[in-house]
Structures are given as C-alpha cells and as structure tokens.
Structure 1
Amino acid sequence: MAEYSDLSVLIVDPNPGMRGNLHNMLSQASITRIDYAVSSGTAVRQLAKKPFDIILCEYDLGNGSGDANGQDGQQLLEDLRHHKLITPWTIFIMLTSEGEYSKVIGAAELTPTDYVLKPFTVDALLQRIQRAVDRRAAFMPVYQLVELGNIRKAISEAKASEEKNPRYAIEFARLRAELLFSLNELAEAEMVYQWILMTRPIAWAHLGLARCRYGLEKYVEAQETLNALLGQNPRFMAAYDLLARTHEALGQQEAAKRVLEDAVAISPHMVRRLRHLGEVALETGDVGAAEKAFKQVVAKAKYSEFRDPEDHVKLVKTLVKKGDANQASGVLRDMERSLRGGPNVDVCRAVAAGMLQQMNGNTSAAANELTQAVNAVASSRGLSTGLKLGLVQSCLDVKLDQQASDLMLNLMNDTDSGISMDDAVQVFEKAGRHDLAAGMGEQIKIQVDELLAHANEQRTQGDLRAAVDTLNAGLRKAPGNMALLPAALAAILKQLDDLGWEAPLGEQAQYLLERMRQLDPGHPTLDALMEQYHHTQRKYGISVVA
C-alpha cells in the first residue's frame, strides 16, 4: 500500500493508547503523515491551519482531560461540515465502541464517509480506508471543478462519469442532482432523483426528491414523499427535519413540533435539531418544551469552538416568557462569564439584558441596554435575521422608534437577510404602528425611485444586462412592487429581443408576467408586455404555448 504514503491523517482521540494503536495500524499502510487531536477543540484548531486527507475520529471524545463530558464526534462533524473546515472529499471515519443505537444513528445521519465499530482489526480499518480512497479518486475530477466554481462543467463531468464508472453510477447521479439543486434548478434535480428511484428505491433519493418539491413550494407532495419515506425508514433522521419544515410552510406548527420531538427521542444529540425544536415550541406557546430544548442546546454546545451566543438569548427569552427571572439572570451571567468578548456577544448580552430589565419593569434600563445592542449590530457579523427582528420588536416595546426603524431599514437593505420591503412594512403594521409603517413606506418609495432611475440610465447607455441586474436586485427587496415589476419585465424582454434568447431569462419573464396578472390583472402595460414576450419567442423560434 505504498501508494498511500502521501496521505495525511488526523487522529482525533483523547486516549493516548488508542492514538498509538491507530498510528501503528496506519504505518502498516505506509501512512506516516499523522497528526493528533485530543478533543474537538484541538481538532478544529488543527483543521483551521491545514487540511487532511483522512480524519479518524473517536465518537466519545470527552473534553480532552479524561472527563466524560464535552463535545462528541457527531457534534464535531456537524461543526466541521457547517463551518466548511473539511472539503466534500475529506474522508471522515467515525470510530466507536458505543452500544447505544441512538448514538450510532446520530453519527450515521451526519453521513461520515464510514464508521467502524470497535474492536476492529488492522485489516478491517485499512479495508475501509482503501474503499474510501478509491471512491475519492473516482470523484476527484468533479470535486475539483466544483472547487473552481465551474458547477456547469462539474455537472457535465458527473453525467459522463456515470457511464465511465458504472460501480459509482448512482452516486454520480446523486452528486449531479445535488449540484443542480445548488444552482436552484430544482425541476431538473427532481428529474434526476426520479430517475434514480426508477433504478433503485434508495432512501436518500426519496429525501432529495422531497427537498426539490419543498424548494418548488410543492409542500403537500413533499409531505407525502417524506411520510412514505419515514414509513419505510423510521430512523432516517434528516427526513424528520425536512418534514418539520414542510409542516411549518403549511402553517402546521404543532405538527412540526411533534415531528421534531419524535426525532429528538430517536437521536437526541443533534444540536441544530434541538435548536429548531426550541424555536418551534416557543412559537406554539409550549414554554416547557422550549426551555428543555434550549437548555440542552446550551449544554451540548458548551465545548464547541463555535458556540453561538444567540442560544443564550433564546433561552433567556424562553425563561422571561415563563416568568422565571432568577433562571434568566443565571443564563445571562453564564453568557458573560463563559463566552469571550466580541461584537456578537456584546449584542446578544445587551438583547438578553434588555429583555430581563423589561420583565422586571425597568423600562429605562431596558431602553439603555437595547440602545447598546442596536449600536453594536453595526460591527457584528453573522447575527441571525431572527435575532435582529426580535431586537426590532423589543425596541418598539420600549418606544425606541428611531432605533427600530433604522434597524429594519438595514435589514431590508441586506440582501442576505431575506427581509423584503413588504416584510418590513408588515412588521410595523402587526405591531400596531401604522405611523412607522407609513414612514417605512416612504423610505421604500424613495429607494424604488432611485433604482428605477439608475436602471433607466444604464439602459440609456446601452448596458441592458446591468439594467436587468439592478432591477432584479430591486425585485428581491420588493417582489410585489408594481412599479418595479413592469420595469424589470420590460428590461428583460428588451435584453432577450436585442441580445438573444436565454432560457433562464425567458422563464423569469414568464414568471413575472404571471405575477403581474395575479397582483393586478388590469395593469395598463400587461397586454403589451405579454405581446412583446410572444413576439420575442417567435423571433427566436421558441414554441409559443397557447
């Protein structure tokens, strides 16, 4: 096995004896580039410095000092994947002697490359490594194209590889579907998953099909697919998560909570699922379930290198809603004591302190804390939209109108927030603040007018693509704005007519025409825009559907 001598391996295990045994086993395969980590924290720090080809990770990591508490291998893998510290081609093998089935399932649902139950022989371990290395070699050309950002070519390469590597044909089809999904070409990805299912009824393909249907807003179909999947595979954990989100999309919050509770009962160690359960439970008014879930999140994340101070805020919010000031104060003190200072921690501490002060009737002190939170948002990074919206509501509660409006305006202008102009107005309307909603409406009108003027200038200068990009950016902020919609549609049709037919742009034009018809069927420009769309189709030989 001399061909493996260039492979680098990170062994993650708190037991020095086991580290030595693994080192000896690897040496028999001529693998000598070996580093060690005694805990999840040291593993994260090692991987932040350099990549490894293979990670051999003990499930029961403890905290590196021999204690039983700390982050386990499953939580480490979750962090590494979420924070992109390992590549799709990194070989991650979980090692465990744990007999409890729920923990094995927990590791399996995070799809490590493989997992090996202890005790195992040298031959068994090296056989798993050889299988993983051979598979990686087959997929590496596609992975390299993805790394270069050439997703289209990667999809073509994956398609060609299905025929060249019949052993991995189904897995290449899966990768092709995932890449199509990443480009938001959900209908095409759906077709690939359907082809896979005609070949072989695989659980992950049913899940992929459901994800496509969810993304296409075919929620009932997604729900039916997931229920059938769980009927056949009741321990397929990722299906529970998507089924819960599907229930939420249909407004079925109680059903979503029950699904997540069932999932946590089977696999109790996934932090993100516990967090989701806490959020849904709080939304449904089940404060007890929310408290239990958020306490587990805070406890399980304690040894993670990526602790999120927002978890403490959610727990404080739950305890405030419960009326438990003593416990809420304790959580706040724990945040101040155990989390290192930083912009996000400063915001979260002030938000939590503001809620607590408000609960205690100290409106002036609450306003001071919330003002600090709003000021700290500007220098923060990665705060969730949910936390910021909660801060807006807290500001409204203590009459910090200007701070609430400024923060909402920033959210609206942040393309990553997912908050449209319409959403921003609705927040103030729901809070009973029609005056602030009207003010926000005026701000929106000014921004829309500026966008239209800028796009018109670009169009006048002959830069049609730039004009379309500008107006599309505006539509992302205000998808229902009846000044932007016809302007964007007219610009798209002009580009198609002058520069040639592009299928994705043609599909967007068709969607915007339907959107206009739904919102304002009597709009004075609708018929002319429809005729222009059909004229351009005929010009380029595109079949016109009657």
Structure 2
Amino acid sequence: MDNKTLENQRVLIVDDQRAFQLMFKGILYSMGATNVAFAPTGEQALAKCANVSYDILFVDYHLGVGKNGKQLLEDLREKKLLAPHSIFMLVTGENSVPMVMSAVELEPDDYLVKPFSQNVLRRRIQRIKRKKTQLAALYQALFDEQAEQIIELCQQEIATEGRYQQFCKRVLVENLIAQQHYAPAEQILQATLSQRRNGWALLLQAKLCFAQQRYEESLLLCQEAIEDNRYFAEAYDIQAQVYLAQKEPELAFDSIQTAAEIAPFNMARQYLLLGIARELNHVPQQVQASKQLYEITRRSVKQDVVHLLNYVRTIIDAAVRADDASVRNRYLQEVSLALQRVKRDDSMTREINFNLFEDLCQARLESLNGAQYQAKKTYAAIAEQLQDEHQVLPDAIFLLNQIGEFEQATALRQLMPAEQMKNPVLKALFNDQQSFVDQKQLQFGELNKAGIKSYKAGNYAAAVTQFEAALELAPMNTGSALNLIQASIQLLNSQQKRKSVELFDRCKKTFRVVDNMPLPEHHRVRYKELLQQFDKLREEFRR
C-alpha cells in the first residue's frame, strides 16, 4: 500500500463541519500529506486559492450560507485559479439524482459520496494524477483556451492508441463542432460509434445533426442516448431544441422539463425552459425557472442583478396575467417575500438603486390591488429619479402601461439603452406586455376618439360617457382624464337650471388623476385652464 500518494502535495479541504475536517485530515496524513489547509466557506476557499496554488482540493457540495461546491468550482475556473495539474474533487453525503447529475455535468475531476474508504480515495487520486501527468500539455492548452493546440494534441494522443484516446476524441470533437468543422468531427464520431455506441459520441453526433438541421437523425440519436441512460439531461436538452425547431413546443416543453428535473442547476437549461414555458404560457414554470436562475447565480461568479430583476418581474407579470384572485394573491405574496429576502443581500442590492426598484414594484402591486391612484402617486414621487437609473426604467414603463399612461411609457422607452433589450427575459416581458397594451390601447383610442367627436359635435353627455369608458381601460391616463374633465365642465355649464351634483363630484374626483402629478408641458397648461374653470363652478355650487 502506497503511503506517499499525497507527499509534497498542497491540499485544501473545503468543508463547514469541523469534525469532518479533522477526520479527513487524518486520512490524508496517512497518505503522506503534510501540507493541508482548511476553509469552512466557498468565499474563504476562493480567497486562499487567490494566494496559493493547491494541488488537490476536496470540496463539500453543501457549505452552509454562501457559495456551494459547484459555484466554487465555476469561480475557480472563471478566474483561472485552478491550475491545469490541480485535482478538484466534490465530496457530499447527498446522493439524490438532481444533486449528483448537476455536479457530474460540471465535470469536476471526481465526485465522492460519503462515506468512502481510504483505499477508494487513494485509487481515485492515483488514477486522476496519472491522467493529468500523461495529458499535461493538453490540460495546459485547455487552460489557455488554445483551440488549434488542443486539436493537435488530441490528434497526437489518439494516434498512440493509449488509454486516454476516448477522452481525447471527445475533447477533439467538441472543439471541432465549436469551430463548425463538421466534416472531420462527423468522421471521428462515425468511426467511434461503429465500434461502440458511447453516450458522449451519441450526444455529440446528435448535437452535430441539430447544427446541420438534420432533425430526425438528431432525435433518433437523442432517444438512443436516453434509452441507454435515462438520466442523460443533455440529450433531453438537444431533443427540446430539435422539437422547437420543428415547431413542436409542447414536446419541447416535456423534454426540457425532464432535463431540469434531472439536473436543475444549469443556466442554459433553465433559460431554455423559461423561453419554452413563456411560448406556451405555462406561467408557474416561468416563475420557477426565473427563480432557479436567480438561485443558481446568486453566490457564483455569474452573479448579476439582472437575474434578480428578471425573477421579480416574472412574478409580477404572472400576477398581472392571473385570472384567479387566489392565484394572483399568491404571486403578490411571493413578490413581497422575494423583495424582503433580497434586502438582506448587500452584495446584490448595491448594484442598483434597490429602493427605487422596490418602490416601482410596490406601485405595480398597488395597481393590481385596484389602488390605481396610489400607484400613480407612488410613481409621481420618484419620477424625477428615473433619468439616470436605466436598470429600473423597464419597471417604470411596465407600471405606466399598467395604469394606462401610454404616452409617458412610450417616452420613457426612448431612454432605454438598446443593450438592455439583449436580456431575453426582459425582451419577452416587453413583447408580452406590448401585445396586451396594443389591444387595450386600440380600444382606448377608439373610445377617446369617439368622445372627442361627440364633444366637437356639442354632445357633451355622450362625450362624458365615452371618456369614462376610456378611463375604465386606462384608469390613470392623463389625457383622457383631462378630456373627461373638459367634457364634464361643458356639460355642467350647459345645465342652466339645475346642475348635477353627482356629475360635479365625479369631475372633482377625476382631478385626482392629475393633481400633483408630473405632467408634460401641454398637459400642464391645459390642466391649469381646466382647474380655473372648475373653480368657478365650485363657487356656483357653494352659492
């Protein structure tokens, strides 16, 4: 038995359980390790790796609060803190399918399930070290992202027909497909599959067929891979993409949902699921996928406030579209809980003016609960701050459209940087709302035009009725509110004998839509004129 497996190796144990750290240290010492460091959190491990290049890292998947083992591996790779020769082993006591498959997809050097014996650990380390030593030049080229060198080194290793030729074939084909060199990639895959129907070869051949729009071939290959391994999430991903290309979104949804159940911690997979769910109007799945994207990225190097914004916006959008009051209330509660939770996360909230974002969300919730005036009042209080806060401009636009201020929403849209619309979730939310707003705006516009026509014809009673109907569709629309006030004043003035108290009160109430609100210049001038006219009527009512 070799007791010098870890001699002269710098080892890092990342685990939040002190008892396991000490027990594991004893095992490693018996294998020759003398240089062993500890980190109880992913953040501390990342800091240590920034200063020391470790030869072997044993990382627990669950690390309490903060980064988990998967996120730590992503960070180390992204920041180039994991040397080509280093060994990264995920260690966990959990063996559920989603946890194991999500970890395996990230391709650590190995994955250990507790408890494990010293002999198993030794064999695993020795096997990985042999591979890393034999393919040192290739691992360096992968680390440096030198595509041409990767291809050349893979071809050299394959020519020797050594023990790592299958691994090198997979790496070679992946690089050829990435560079769209389909013919040589397919030649290698066909030769490999003629000898043995390897899962990786089936998957890459399916991917290649999809890229070349050979959809039926791709589906057959995916099905074969899935029949061989029902937990092959990546095969379901390609299957979903093929179904989408064939205009079969329901089948695509079934495939991507299965993939997400098998291995949920994959950003590309969740984005695909979110897009398909939106196409099919599967609202709960949209909310779940957007939440999963936020959770996946929250503690990782891919953390971006945009995932938080997308998550909250998706929930509010779901509430807007909910016909059932109990379902809407459930979504509204989820928004409140999400905002409260995020407040405690300084690393996230400092990236934006979170108070402004929260106010806009609150206004949208007020509007959904029927408090349209309060929603507009909330907006009026923060409107001046929006000029320099591009990240939350979409939320202001959503709110304005929601309460019927279509003109102001269009004006704000002009301020949005084009870069923002590269966010696929935001783009989809805009498209969905715009489709709804276009329909509402069409009905609103027809009623408003009819009211203007009636007003010009001197039929003030009909004009009042039509403007009131327009405001039912867009309750806080400034232009229509001013039209209704103007028509109401004319109707009251025409009632020489006995003016309607009810109409006067309705007119007074309509002023609340524009009182103390930020108004464009043409509306502001008109508002002042109408207010003067209404004040004269007020004096008459007092007499």
TM-score, scaled to structure 2: 0.63
Equivalent AA in structure 2 for residue 334 of structure 1: R
Counterpart-to-counterpart distance in 2, 1:432 and 1:146? 50
Q: Is the 8 Å Cα contact of residues 332 and 353 (structure 1) preserved in structure 2?
A: no
| Offset at residue 376 of structure 1 (A) | 4.3
Helix, strand or coil: the match of 2:347? coil
Counterpart-to-counterpart distance in 1, 2:272 and 2:201? 24
Residues 340-379 of structure 1: pairs in structure 2 closer than 5 A:
340=347, 344-346=351-353, 354=360, 356-358=362-364, 360=367, 361=372, 362=375, 375-377=388-390
Unaligned runs of 5+ in 1: 64-69, 381-386, 434-546
1:34 aligns with 2:41: no
Q: 1:388 to 1:23 in 2, by over 3 A?
A: farther
Helix, strand or coil: the match of 1:55? strand
Equivalent AA in structure 1 for residue 39 of structure 2: A
Helix, strand or coil: the match of 2:231? coil
State which structure, 1 or 2, has the greater radius of gyration over its C-alpha atoms. Answer: 2
Counterpart-to-counterpart distance in 2, 1:258 and 1:302? 27
| Offset at residue 275 of structure 1 (A) | 5.6
Counterpart-to-counterpart distance in 1, 2:384 and 2:276? 28
1:254 aligns with 2:250: yes
Q: Is the 8 Å Cα contact of residues 363 and 398 (structure 1) preserved in structure 2?
A: no
| Offset at residue 168 of structure 1 (A) | 0.7
1:206 aligns with 2:202: yes
Residues 394-473 of structure 1: pairs in structure 2 closer than 5 A:
399-401=408-410, 403-405=412-414, 407=416, 409-410=418-419
1:327 alignment counterpart: 334
Q: Is the 8 Å Cα contact of residues 71 and 299 (structure 2) preserved in structure 1?
A: no
Equivalent AA in structure 1 for residue 262 of structure 2: I
Counterpart-to-counterpart distance in 2, 1:32 and 1:374? 59
Task: Report which stretch shifted further, 210-219 or 199-208.
Answer: 210-219
Counterpart-to-counterpart distance in 2, 1:218 and 1:375? 48
Counterpart-to-counterpart distance in 2, 1:97 and 1:364? 53
Q: 1:244 to 1:389 in 2, by over 3 A?
A: farther
Counterpart among 127, 130, 134 of residue 131 in structure 1: 127
Task: Map Cα deviations across residues 416-440 of structure 1 (whole Å, 9 max, x no partner).
Answer: x599xxx9xx99998999xxxxxxx
1:450 alignment counterpart: none
| Offset at residue 72 of structure 1 (A) | 4.6
1:167 alignment counterpart: 163
Aligned residues: 409
Helix, strand or coil: the match of 2:112? strand
1:16 alignment counterpart: 18
Q: 1:3 to 1:315 in 2, by over 3 A?
A: closer
Unaligned runs of 5+ in 2: 320-330, 439-543
Counterpart-to-counterpart distance in 1, 2:80 and 2:214? 30
Residues 265-304 of structure 1: pairs in structure 2 closer than 5 A:
265-268=261-264, 273-274=269-270, 276-296=272-292, 298=294
Equivalent AA in structure 2 for residue 280 of structure 1: I
1:453 alignment counterpart: none
Counterpart-to-counterpart distance in 1, 2:251 and 2:362? 31
TM-score, scaled to structure 1: 0.62
| Offset at residue 109 of structure 1 (A) | 3.1
Q: Is the 8 Å Cα contact of residues 291 and 311 (structure 2) preserved in structure 1?
A: yes
Task: Map Cα deviations across residues 355-404 of structure 1 (whole Å, 9 max, x no partner).
Answer: 55345243575598798677345xx8xxxxxx999998888866454653
Counterpart among 305, 309, 313 of residue 305 in structure 2: 309
Q: 1:55 to 1:335 in 2, by over 3 A?
A: same
| Offset at residue 160 of structure 1 (A) | 0.8
| Offset at residue 139 of structure 1 (A) | 1.6
1:177 aligns with 2:186: no
Equivalent AA in structure 2 for residue 20 of structure 1: L
Q: Is the 8 Å Cα contact of residues 320 and 356 (structure 1) preserved in structure 2?
A: no
| Offset at residue 247 of structure 1 (A) | 3.2
Equivalent AA in structure 2 for residue 108 of structure 1: V
Task: Map Cα deviations across residues 171-199 of structure 1 (whole Å, 9 max, x no partner).
Answer: 11111122223434344333333332223
Equivalent AA in structure 2 for residue 404 of structure 1: R
| Offset at residue 252 of structure 1 (A) | 3.5
| Offset at residue 235 of structure 1 (A) | 0.7
Counterpart-to-counterpart distance in 2, 1:193 and 1:28? 44
1:230 aligns with 2:226: yes
1:338 aligns with 2:339: no
| Offset at residue 130 of structure 1 (A) | 0.8
Helix, strand or coil: the match of 1:340? helix
Q: Percent identity?
A: 23
Helix, strand or coil: the match of 1:166? coil
Q: 1:177 to 1:268 in 2, by over 3 A?
A: closer
Helix, strand or coil: the match of 1:57? strand
Q: Is the 8 Å Cα contact of residues 222 and 235 (structure 2) preserved in structure 1?
A: yes
Equivalent AA in structure 1 for residue 413 of structure 2: A
